[in-house]
Structure 1
Amino acid sequence: MMKNFNIPMLLLAILVIIMFFLVGLAIAFRNIWLISLFTILGFGVMGYGLSLKRKRG
């Protein structure tokens, strides 16, 4: 049983995971600017995805 995947939402979820992975990488490099940038981008993309999901019902 293969369900139909929502490809745009899957890509958004993967993008959020990549952003928070990059936060960890920025922490390893001890770069506060990249930590801030990727944290804000990660939460922004996650919020955008949640708002899209809420609009679709």
Structure 2
Amino acid sequence: MARWVSKICELGEKRRRYEDLFQRQISEVDGEFNTLQGFARELQVRIDHAHLKPLRPCA
């Protein structure tokens, strides 16, 4: 019985370590994703703005 309890404690600690690791990685990916979304929105605004400008004739 003591061996089972010990194993359960070990697995619980291992689970917490993996959860912490995954949570940090998810946070990093979320940050990168949000940054890229911002860049994409900014690019879309620039593209939309460029399409609204009248074209300049070639010199």
Which category describes the TM-score, using the shorter chain as reference length? 0.3 to 0.5
Task: Say which one has the larger Rg.
Answer: 2
TM-score by length of 2: 0.44
